[in-house]
Structure 1
Amino acid sequence: MHTRLVRMLLWLDKNLWAIPTIPFVAFEVSLAGIHLTGHGPVLLAMVSTSARQETYASLTNTASALLGFTIAAIAVLAAFPPRPSNNAAQRASEQRLSAARTKLMASLLATSFFMLTLLITSTVALAVDSKKVGNPLLVALVQGSALAVVFGLLVGGVGVLFVLLERSNIP
């Protein structure tokens, strides 16, 4: 059990894009199971139409603002090449840090994809989801994308913080 957990964490460390993707897939599968078993509307689908519309509008505004910041963070990370060094150990360390920044950019790109999905789906839902019970497909995409964005931004934000701290340490 312990080695399996370590292997999963090592895989996750190499595939940071999966951090927002796994919660999205797990949430979508869970909601599909609930919907298919006939339990009725859950979460956002069961709130009033006006509350749902306000939520969609808020998510649209938030996702559009955060998408810009996330893309800016990706551009900043891409601008950090490995520092030149004559020392082989420092060169190897810079290559590892550069690879880590690339993995972090992949995670932020995946998060940006879910933000874009959230933005588009919320905008469409704002226009068409006006019945008493929310559209199951739109509601599931909105909620799953929002969950993925939260996970992606938490990990991405911490990662960008570490990169900035590492880059500010001028030798």
Structure 2
Amino acid sequence: MQAHIFAEESNTTGEDRDQSVKEYYGGLFEMVAGLDDELAEFADTRLHILSKEYGVARGEERMSAVYASEQNSVGGDGMAEQARAELLDAAADAEVMVILLSTDVFQETVEQVWDELVETAKPESIWCLGAARSSLEGLDFEELEGKGCTFLTYQRVGVARIGTDTREELLEAVKQKAAQ
């Protein structure tokens, strides 16, 4: 089973750039890293970390390699373009799709390609979206329902990327899917 997680970087970082990107970020990003670890018990996970500095990096990449390959800051537009492409690629093979983004980034990425994401989504896949209520209310989940997909939403309030209840529901849905 393939699981993809999309989240933004954290302002809290480690000192050691020889760490993986996943380990380099701390603070509230640790919730995302922990979710990745928990999902990895049931699925092959791919963590995609979005940054206006370097675009989109994979969780397992070394931070030193990410910085070494960086010529100039990609900026918000470059990051959004890379993220939209990776979201569409991931949706095609994901049994589990987790997207935890701030309002601005969600609007610049997910909302721009939502119809294509849903069209590309695998039947009976699990979708978990964490974003502002205004962003989630603007999405049409009907086609996902028609494909037999499970979808969970977390209306972000403050800085939490995913709520405890939503996280537990997601893990339970993934466990059940893995047991089939």
TM-score range, shorter chain: under 0.3
Bigger share in helix: 1
Rg larger for? 1
Bigger share in strand: 2
Q: TM-score of the superposition, structure 2-length normalised? A: 0.25
